[in-house]
Amino acid sequence: MSQQHPPIDDEAFEKLQAELREQYRQQAIEQPPEAIDKAILALAKQRHTCQTKQPTLSAWKQHQLAIASAASITLVAGLLYFSPELLHQIQPHKSALQLSLSDSTSAEKLAQSSADNVLTDADSSVNTIDTTALSRSSTATEIGISRMASTATASKHTAQLQPEHANELNADSSLNDTSNDPLAINAHSQRGSRAQLSASSDIINKRPKTVELDTAENAVVKLTEHLEKGQLPQARLLLKEIEQRFPELNNTKHPLYEKFIQLKQQLTSQ
């Protein structure tokens, strides 16, 4: 199969190369089919179009988050606008959430304000109220109990005690109690947080629940109770809320219409 050719020098090779190249050029006439040409050029154009369109897509992607956020806000705002009941239902949850998520300073403020209220009471009637009564009245928080007890004792001896001084005393006494004992500090902080939580839950429980007014009947019953107890400010607030939430009570065909009007008149006449 193999055939050995005699070696040729560079000059002879160049001559051979030129000769064969000339001969080759004469017969090198094949061209790709037109269909292939068109397909390749179409692909090139398509790629070119895609490349030019890309910035538009990336610009859309850049603003995607902002547009999505705006759409979400619009949706929520629209929902709240068209159905205000949702807002009423959300508010109690929201306030509970705010309270539970509030930091230690706000909880401490709550505890302190309740303690201050108790202190003010104690201050005004220090001669008539004994320490047990004071400590019983301040059962809202454990920390309040210890502070009030010591403060009340102090006030009994001094006969006069201002709330600011009482606070200072409280701070001093608590510092004296706990400053030398890290375990005591820890226990104190735990007690404080427990007190804050119980105070928060008390406040939440004491709030008028919208759920209680889930029906017009319940609302009217509640209004009647307020009137009977002579709680006029609460009754007025409730009336306002009832009129907003249950406008059907103003309809003469409503079974509770007469009672509601009667209560309303009773409230306005007082």
Residue entry with tokens 């895609």? 50
Q: How far is the CB of 105 from another protein (least distance, A)?
A: 57
Rounded distance between C-alpha atoms, residue 231 and residue 208, angstroms = 14
Residue from the set 9, 30, 103, 228 that interacts with another protein by CB under 8 A: 30
Residue from the set 38, 39, 124, 218 that interacts with another protein by CB under 8 A: 39
Q: How far is the CB of 61 from another protein (least distance, A)?
A: 18
Q: How many residues bind another protein (CB under 8 A)?
A: 32
Q: Is 53 in the site for another protein (CB under 8 A)?
A: no
Which pairs with CB-CB distance under 8 Å and at least 24 residues apart come from 202-205? 202/140, 203/99, 203/110, 204/95, 204/96, 204/99
Q: How far is the CB of 59 from another protein (least distance, A)?
A: 17
In which region does residue 231 sit, left (phi positive, over 0), alpha (psi from -120 to 50) or beta (all else)? beta
Q: How far is the CB of 86 from another protein (least distance, A)?
A: 51
* CB distance 156 to 131 below 8 Å: yes
* CB distance 243 to 250 below 8 Å: yes
Q: Is 32 in the site for another protein (CB under 8 A)?
A: yes
Residue 5 carries which DSSP code?
P
Between 30 and 228, CB nearer to another protein? 30
Binding site for another protein (CB under 8 A): 1-5, 8, 13, 16-17, 20-21, 23-24, 26-28, 30-33, 36-37, 39-41, 43-45, 47-48, 51-52
